[in-house]
Amino acid sequence: MVWLAAAAAFLVPLVLTPRALFYYDVTPKVVLILLAAATALAAIFFQWNGWAAYARTRWGRWYLVAVAASGLIAGFAALRSAERGLAWYGSDWRRMGALTEGATILAAAWIAQLALQRKRNLFILLRAISVAGLLASLYGIAQYLNWDPILPRDAYAVGEGVFQIVRPPGTLGHSDYFAAYLLWPVFAGWALSLVEKSFAWRWLGRISGGAASAAIVLSGSRGALLGLVAGVAVRLFLKRARWGHALRVTLAAAAVFAGFYLSPAGERMRARVHWIAEDRVGGARLLLWRDSLRMAAHKPLTGFGPEAFVAEFPRFESEALARAYPDFFHESPHNLLLDMLTSEGLLGLLALAAVVGIAAGGGLDSRGSNIAALAFLPGLAASLLAHQFAAWIAPSAFYFYMGTGILAGAGEEKPAVDKPPLTPLWRSAVALAGCAGAIFFAVAAYRLTAEDGMLARVDRRLDAGDFPGAAMAYRAALNRPDAGVTADLYFSRRWSKLAMATTNVMPKVYYSQIAAAAASRATRQPEQAPNAWYNLSLLAAARNDPAGTGYALRAAITCAPEWYKPHWILAQLLAVEGRSAEAAPEAARALQLNGGKDSEVASTLAQVLRSTEPRP
């Protein structure tokens, strides 16, 4: 069974399924976590001794209480959320609803108790983490060096010429997520290099830790770099390292980095430093954090529900944030504590704090003799710091709960258990409950895969020019059981673009109808609502439907009052209809919210004001 657990730890951060699944960097990872949770429940009858032994440790029993409370709080917050579907399944971009959170906690706790049953199990897990980290790091380094056989390079290259930066996303979808994940393999690999008897595994640990550190630097993630420094400090404390040796290693690493930075290969790194110098406060984060706190104050105890931030925040966004970043979509607070506070309230935040405190207690208790503390305590400190500047995604949460679970159970020796401490009746009840839970998670994984795969099939047929086949596949996807996977806004735009490019009248009408229907369905998805209503207004304008255009624009304004674009287009519509008195305040509001970023917005206001002037 430990090999299944190690396989999960290995595959979750690595798996990508381009073309096979629509959300190819998110869905397969969540599916693996759901299947790991199903395996944990299916095997609970046979592994009851391991769970019981884990619960008898000083910190392990409290850890199980804390993570169980976290899962229950997430479910309760989802039930109370105004956007229950979103809070349960999660958004398309990270899929971190209550379902995924519960599966993540269960799967990670299962791996933790398995790893602590025998010393050999922990070594197998550390090897899996190190190899996964090495492969992910090498891929990220290759991306920085302009070689990527899987993902399009323009998805993570920004800017032009000498100021172009490349921020490798690795297998995690974004450079910040990628770098935050790599903090765990850094310290797992270095710990492995100290305790492994095998020469090959010792060197693999060293190479994995070094490659992961290099990939973090190349990612350009400031939060992850701070986390790396914090993790190194914790590791030095745990090992009581000689400061002279630490200084020599630091100076050597600095010399290597300086040589790379000044070399031709360091051009993009120099460009990244230039960008950082121009944006020292980290973009929108300070204003975003302030507005997130204001949002959390409206539901301080239970929050708005997991992942509901993406739907609820536009109502709390300040004008200052809108003016500073007028076309920026804020999908999360980009801060773990605020993410928990806005989604699950003070209860969720306290549960998270309890998990961290218990893990730290277990790790510090075992630091003198247990490799678990050396491998995971620095990673925990580093990850916590890095996630004060990055969003919380499923692989990050999976490694977090796995690491904290191992630390909590490592504090003292587990007493021997000769037989399950349950009567036959209770043993049967546990087995039945475990099988029922396993079936539930397995079905959820299947539905998620099937629904996402159907959307990918539509996309593949559109790419191949099989438009009738794509239309049939899209209709089939709409008739699927709902598992929370949507791409209506995306397909509305694709079908609309296809309709405009088609010269044949009948297909043009048909594709336009599909685009309009998809645009209408997209407005019912809370995470897409402002963009979806805006998109619907553009389609209505293309059909010469001023009433529909105005209705959609006002709906977009209701969903996101501080977004300048609906105000801007509505002002133009009202001006064309000769309603200049109504257009003027909308144009003025658009200019105010745009913050002077686009000259066209100012031109609209000037034109509207000229139209209101009395003619001689």
pLDDT-above-90 percentage for the chain: 63
Evaluate whether residue 390 is within a structural domain.
yes
pLDDT mean across residues, the chain = 89
Number of Cβ within 10 Å of residue 184's Cβ equals 30
Say yes or no: 421 and 567 in one domain: no
More confident residue, 602 or 16: 16
368: pLDDT confidence band, cut at 50, 70 and 90? low
What is the value of pTM for the model shown? 0.92
245: pLDDT confidence band, cut at 50, 70 and 90? low
Domain end position, chosen among 400, 425, 450: 425
CB 214, CB 365: distance < 8 Å: no
Evaluate whether residue 482 is within a structural domain.
no
What are the residues whose beta carbons fall under 8 Å from the beta carbon of 490, sequence distance 6 or more? none
3-state helix, strand, coil in the chain (%, to 5): 75, 0, 25
| DSSP-assigned letters across all residues of 142-162 | HHHTT--SSS-GGGTEES-GG
Residue ranges with strand state E in 90-194: 157-158, 165-166
pLDDT at 273: 80
Domain end position, chosen among 407, 425, 443: 425
Evaluate whether residue 445 is within a structural domain.
no
Q: CA–CA distance from 108 to each of 5, 354, 395, 400, 460 (Å)?
A: 9, 16, 11, 8, 35
Q: What's the average model confidence in pLDDT over 185-203?
A: 90
pLDDT at 602: 86
Evaluate whether residue 393 is within a structural domain.
yes
Q: What's the average model confidence in pLDDT over 92-100?
A: 92
Evaluate whether residue 195 is within a structural domain.
yes
Burial class (CB in 10 A: 0-12, 13-18, 19+), 385: buried
Evaluate whether residue 408 is within a structural domain.
yes
pLDDT in tens, 518-527: 999 999 988 8
Number of Cβ within 10 Å of residue 148's Cβ equals 18
pLDDT at 248: 74
* CA 258, chain centre distance (Å): 32
Question: Of the given ranges (109-118, 298-307, 607-616), which has the lowest mean pLDDT?
Answer: 607-616
Range of the domain at 50: 2-425
pLDDT in tens, 41-83: 998 887 888 888 888 888 999 999 999 999 999 999 999 999 9
Per the structure, how many domains does the chain have? 2
Evaluate whether residue 532 is within a structural domain.
no
Domain end position, chosen among 425, 455, 482: 425
3-state secondary structure of 166: strand
pLDDT at 419: 52
pLDDT at 31: 97
